[in-house]
Structure formats: C-alpha cells, structure tokens
Chain A
C-alpha cells in the first residue's frame, strides 16, 4: 500500500509542477517585458515627446494607414519582431537594440527568438510568427529564413512588414509581397571583406575561408561577394579551403583550423577570412598556440564581439556590424511605413525598397574609437 500511495503523490507533484511552471513563466515573462519597456519609456520620454510632435506635424498631411495618432499622445505602438537565433551573439544584440530603441520611434517591441533550441528551422519560425500575430501587432519586423517571406503573404498588405539584417529570399509565391528591407547586403559585405583582406595579403598568398552554415543565405552571398572580388582584383591570391560550418561555434572553428594546420603545416597558408565573430574567436585562439599574428598571418572577420583581437595584433581587420545602427535604420523604416512617409527614405541604388546599412572596417589604426 505504501508503494501506491507514493506513486499517487509523485503523480500529483508532477502535475502541479507543470502547472506551477507555466504560471511562473507567465508572470516572469510578463514582468520582464513590461519592466524593460517601462525603463526605456522613462529614459526616452523626453525624446519621444520631441519626436511625437514632429510626427504629428507630418501625419496631418498624409492619409495615415494606421492609428498613428497614438504616438502623439505618448502611448507606444505595439510591433513585433521575430529574431533569428539568439544563440548567435549579433542576432541577440540586434534584437536587444531593436527593443531598446523602439520607444524612440514610438514603438513597444515584442521580440521573440525564432530558434528557441538553437537550430534555425523554418517551421519553428512559422510558429513564432503565429504567436506574434496572435497579439495583433501593428507592424511586423522579421529576420527572415529561407521561405519565410512566402509565409508572410498571409498578412500581406494588412500590416507593414520590414525585413531586418538578412535579405529576404523572394520566390514565385511571394513575388507580390509588400515589404521593406533594412540591413546589410551580404554580397557587398563579402566584397568589403575581400577588399580589406587584400590590403594585408602578399603576392601569391594562400588563404582559407571559414563560413557560416551551408544553406544559410548570408553565408553563400558573402562567400559569393568575397570570391568574386578576389577573382577580379587579386587573381594571384589562391583560396585553398572553404569550410561551411554546420554548427557555428568557436570549438568547431578551432577544429577546422587544426585540420588545416595538419594538412598544410604552419606557414602553409597566409590568412583566414571568417564570416562570423564566434568563428574568428576560435581562429584567434589557435593562432596564439601556433605563434601567429598580424605580422605573418592575415585574419579578417565579421561581427566580432570584441576589439581585443585587433588591439592585441591577431586580427587584421574586422567588419563591424553595428547593431544599434541597424536597429535604428530598421525602426526608422518601420516608422516610415506606418506613417506613410516611405518616399522620404533613401533606398539602395537600383532597389525600391531596400535600405542598406553598411559595415564599418576596424583596423589597428582606428580601433581606439570603438569601445567593446
């Protein structure tokens, strides 16, 4: 009898634990959300008051699409943002920046992680979009993945849509999608990376590339831009290895670098082009063990989380993607969409609805201007 009583106890405990979990999540989720936005609201109440007066002046001359009159009363419009994996550092910072700067543009941003278990999966993104839509936001901002633009067709034209940071892949199904894109243009980034790296490469240098996951659009477009520029401008440089990491993290990058060392030996290649900061970190760590630095080895990277590597002389150049700049650009576009003032934006040459956000090159010469 004791045994079965124990089991009954366990069953009840488990069931109540589950309920407790859900309730706890509810309260903590709610409070953290409202906590951050109320802080921001206090900080930027001055700036929003200034902005709202500007906006209300512009509004009155337009036929506004939504209840933009809210911004003049100080109440923030609710918009939603679906972020790519927060396990990627830049994505997390971008997401935080959008939430932080939202109120400056009159927005309360509900941000969601599109890849809760770290693996970007279109179906999970769709889940996230559904969850965000369930709260009836007035605008959607999305870091898209593969065919997500197709999925956005379901609310096409109903609420303004801004893609952020990753250029959307438009297919046959989504060719009529109304959207704006604010963010980096991956092909150009690849070009920029190649340009900077070339400054540090000797004649006939051999280099390796370490890229983001095979199949991710920014990986292939950056790679494309990089290779095209190199082929056109530095045909003497030979790219001997190109690795796409399926799981992008520091350890895997280190493993790949070690493999290259095994294959070519120290001195067998002269530099590495990395597409993401987490990977650059791995490369830099390996460089330390093999006694490599900028004097004999050229490393360039994108979106590092620290300027240490440049200061310490390991990294030659870093393309810095400023999350605040990108966030603000995106928010500005969303604001314009809601106010109907998109003709005041400056799109990229040749595109109607793209606002390109350039990256900054950081080298040893200007590294002190940056503080991270």
Chain B
C-alpha cells in the first residue's frame, strides 16, 4: 500500500510513454534490414516517409485531441472533402492560393461543428465525429459530382508529390508541423491546459481553466489540420478524391497509441506519435516488399492494433494505479 513518501519517481509505463516508441523503431528497422534486402535503401525509406506523411499530418491533430481526452473519427472524410474543395476551387479559379485557403477554411468549419457538439453541447466525441464522418463523406460526393476532380495545379502538386534536395516535400512539411506543434504543446499555456484537461477535466476546471473553450479550440485546430491534409492529399494524387481517406483516422490513432499516447487523455507526445505512424508504415512496407498475401497483411494489421491497444491499457493502468490508493 501507499505509505510515506515514494522516492521512486519512475515506472516502466512512464518510461515507455516517453521513449518506448524509439526502441520499437530501432527494433523495426533492424528487423526490416534482416527480412528484406530492399528495405534499408534510401529510396525505399524515403518512399515510406512520403507514404506515411498524410497519416502523420492527421496524427499531429489526432494526438492533440487524444491528449485532451477527445477523438475525431471524421478526419479521413474531412481530408477527402477538403481535397475535393482544393480541386474544385483550383479548377474554378486557377488560383492555387485560393484553393489552399478554401480547403483550410472548410476544414476549420468542420472542426467548429465537431467542437461545438463535442465540447459545448457535451455529446460524446466518438458519436459526434462518427456522425460528421458520414455526413462529410456524403458532402464530398455531392460537391465533386460523384467522381474525382482532376488537376490541382503545379504548386500544390509540388507540395504533395515534389522533392526538395531529394527529400519528399510532404515529409518536410510533416517535420515542420511536428516541430511547431510540439512547441505549442510544451511551451504554451494552451498546450499545458490540454494535458491537464485530458488528465482530469474536473481538476482543470476547478483550477480556473475554461475547459469547454479549450476543447472547442482543439477540435477547430484539428479541422484546420485535416484541411491541410486535404491539400497535401490533393497534391499527392493530383486530384480531389471524394472516396479517399477511408480509415485514415485509424492509421493516425494507431500510430499515436503506439507512440505512447493514452486514449484516456493526459498523456502523449507529438513527436512520439509521428514515430509511431512511421513504424506502422515500416510494417506495411515490409509486408509489401515480402509480397505477403494481402489477407495476411490484414491479419497482421489487426494484431498491430491489438498490441497498440494493449500498450495503451498497460501504460494507463500502470500510471493511474496509485490514484485509487490516494
């Protein structure tokens, strides 16, 4: 039982939360090198980086939400919708900048809707974003006329599919966004508030934090991020795809949880989440390189999800275990 002063200030779970994902990354890289000779080649690794970048962008926002105690299941649909907006606006006006702004604006509006119902009205985020997921998907089909909208212009394609000094530009964007968001989460009061709210919303409220406002903001920012993801997705595929992005939100969640984010809130780290997304990308890449039967790939993916969830429960239970005693 918990008596006296605990001088031990570290636990396996806390440690995993902070650094475990890097260990798994190293294991994955080593395993990859052993399994396939085509793996540890710069071009392959860069293509993995390019391919996971969309999931990574979404994961940046998703991790923020998970830290704050929420979730957004509509991320994939929002991204698809925003990619459609990008293409439609570009085809209508010929102006890339306008297209980007339109997409970001639409993403933000979706975020406002999600945030309003999840935070101010107080509905369960799972349900709210499930509903928006379907609604936005339908809207995407309507706006695009059911078919992909081709052509988003050279500028946007350069962002999504181009390379700078051999490194995929989309990956560079991921790195920049990760750095910015990590800064926000650790060095601004907003970031601190999110951690507190996710950790114990009542305590945060009782400390004078406007919980509803902060959570609302969180969803709006997620919407903005999905808008950005939409622009990049449009750039990568050179089209607005209403059917795109299905289950992308889960890729983001899985990567995030592998990176040590707790689905119960209060614990998580943007950088580690991106590494987690990268690890999932490596696993997919390895399976493709080995020509693993697609149906086995499905099985493996399911097992990865299971491991991610177990890790989440393990870290959360272990860390929160002592609270009952106190």
Q: Which B residue's beta carbon lies closest to that of A83?
A: B294
Complex Cα–Cα for A135 and B245 (A): 27
Q: Number of contacts between A and B (CB, 8 Å)? A: 173
Across-interface contacts of A21 in B (CB, < 8 A): 300, 303
By size class, the interface of chain A is 35 or more
Q: A126-B51, A213-B243 are in contact. Are A26 and B35 (CB under 8 A)?
A: yes
Beyond the given pairs A113-B294, A121-B246, A130-B48, 17 more chain A to chain B contacts, judged by CB atoms under 8 angstroms and listed by A's residue number, are A4-B12, A7-B318, A10-B314, A11-B16, A11-B20, A15-B24, A18-B27, A23-B31, A116-B297, A121-B245, A122-B236, A126-B51, A134-B289, A146-B237, A147-B150, A173-B157, A216-B243
The smallest beta-carbon distance between A39 and chain B, in angstroms, is 16
Q: Which residues of A contact B (CB under 8 A)?
A: 3-4, 7-8, 10-11, 14-15, 17-19, 21-23, 25-26, 28-30, 32-33, 86, 110-113, 116-117, 119-123, 126-128, 130-132, 134-135, 146-147, 150-151, 169, 171-173, 213-217, 220, 244, 246
Across-interface contacts of B287 in A (CB, < 8 A): 25, 29, 116
Across-interface contacts of A121 in B (CB, < 8 A): 241, 243-246
Say yes or no: B146 contacts A214, CB within 8 Å. Answer: yes
Say yes or no: B237 contacts A4, CB within 8 Å. Answer: no
By size class, the interface of chain B is 35 or more
Say yes or no: B307 contacts A14, CB within 8 Å. Answer: yes
Q: Which residues of B contact A (CB under 8 A)?
A: 11-13, 16, 20, 23-24, 27-28, 31-32, 34-36, 38, 41, 43-44, 47-48, 50-51, 54, 141, 144, 146-148, 150-151, 157, 161, 233, 236-239, 241-247, 283-298, 300-301, 303-304, 307, 310-311, 314, 318, 321
Q: A116-B298, A121-B246, A172-B151 are in contact. Are A25 and B236 (CB under 8 A)?
A: no
Say yes or no: A135 contacts B38, CB within 8 Å. Answer: yes
Q: Give the interface SS of chain A, mostly helix, strand, loop or mixed.
A: helix
Across-interface contacts of A246 in B (CB, < 8 A): 243
The smallest beta-carbon distance between B128 and chain A, in angstroms, is 22
Q: Which A residue's beta carbon lies closest to that of B288?
A: A131
Q: Give the interface SS of chain B, mostly helix, strand, loop or mixed.
A: helix
Say yes or no: B27 contacts A19, CB within 8 Å. Answer: yes
Say yes or no: B295 contacts A117, CB within 8 Å. Answer: no
The smallest beta-carbon distance between A242 and chain B, in angstroms, is 11
Across-interface contacts of B35 in A (CB, < 8 A): 22-23, 25-26
Residue in contact with B236 in the complex, picked from A86, A126, A173, A216, CB distance below 8 Å: A126
Residue in contact with B148 in the complex, picked from A7, A8, A14, A215, CB distance below 8 Å: A215
Across-interface contacts of A33 in B (CB, < 8 A): 291
Say yes or no: B238 contacts A147, CB within 8 Å. Answer: yes
Say yes or no: B284 contacts A116, CB within 8 Å. Answer: yes
